[in-house]
Amino acid sequence: MGNIIAATSSIGIPLFNHLVTIPYIFHPQRWGGIPWKEPNFILLSLITMIFNVVCLMLIGTISGLMTTKQKCRKTNLLKSIKRSLWVAVGYIIGNMVMMLLPFIKSPLLVLSLWMPYAGWIIHGICVSLFVLLFGSIGNSKLRNEVC
């Protein structure tokens, strides 16, 4: 159950961070007013990736705690945080695959032209498969360690 929560969260977290969190952080009033220089693309992409990974690691930690609590009625927060790195690795590898092979998502994009934010959602669905796979690996290792 926890892996499904992490995988479905990986669909919406990048869009939420792009539309809400990053504009809130980089609002001109926070940095001294209107004569303000917009950050470059690399800095913006790096900070967005860091926020996405941190959010997914938090959800991966909750996923690990849920998994061990369900299987053996024990929890270990530090090991769960350590094994939540698998969710972040799945997110990063999924983004790399989608960057190198963008034609994988093109049939789904054609079918979802009517939907707002279709590019974000389809990209998130494709990446969530990797998050689900790597999250399952991390949670099985966590169960073996805790139980």
Query: pLDDT for 111-146, tens place per residue?
Result: 888 889 899 999 999 999 999 999 999 999 998 998
Residue 34 confidence (pLDDT) above 80? no
Residue 69 confidence (pLDDT) above 70? yes
Mean pLDDT computed over every residue of the chain: 88
For the segment 4-11, the average pLDDT, to the nearest whole number, is 89
For the chain, the 3-state helix, strand and coil shares in percent, each to the nearest 5, are 80, 0, 20
pTM: 0.86
For the segment 10-20, the average pLDDT, to the nearest whole number, is 91
- Around 10, how many Cα atoms within 13 Å sit in the side-chain half-sphere? 33
Q: Which two tokens stand for residue 136?
A: 């399952």
Q: Which amino acid type is present at position 125?
A: I
Using alpha carbons, list the distances in angstroms from residue 23 to 16, 37, 38, 145.
Answer: 10, 14, 11, 40
Q: How far apart are CA 147 and CA 99, in angstroms?
A: 38
